[in-house]
Amino acid sequence: MGKKHIVEKSAEEVLAEGSKVEKTLAQIAPSLKKKSVNTAAIHILSSYNNTKMTLTDMQGNVLLAQSAGRVGFKGSKKGTSFAASKVAQAIGEAIVALNAKEVEIIVKGVGAGRESALRSLSTQGINITKVKDRTPIPHGGCRPKKPRRA
């Protein structure tokens, strides 16, 4: 099979990779400065491969959508809890820019980013009023195949 090649990164390369992931709010959503919302809703969709978060007003109009890929993660790193917390930080900055006082959170999915996204939002000082779990659960399932003829 051969020898394995271990790639070692210097401290400068690690810092450069981290700065690539962090983007400012001005780059993410320049149109948010004009709007102001009292209450908002955050929809978190957490799968095994990615974490997506959508910031909406209470009528369901989308104000900002973020995902781990859009924040700067690639490949299997998008499904990690660290990536979900970075997405939550970006959404948190948008909530501060909108001057939203209260936020409802709707969680859907079974990925690793569910808990870390919630924790990251709560540590940013956002007033969370409700947390709903809307993960789809199968009931009954599909119709089974008919039995094989002899």
Residues 102-130: pLDDT tens digits? 999 999 999 888 999 999 999 998 999 99
For residues 13 and 84, give the distance between their C-alpha atoms in angstroms, rounded to a whole number.
22
For residues 65 and 19, give the distance between their C-alpha atoms in angstroms, rounded to a whole number.
21
Residue type (1 letter), 56: T
What Cα–Cα distance (Å) separates residue 95 from each residue in 16, 70, 120, 125?
27, 18, 13, 10
Structural domains of the chain ordered from first start: 34-133 (3.30.420.80)
Residues 55-101: pLDDT tens digits? 999 999 999 999 999 998 999 999 999 999 999 999 998 898 888 88
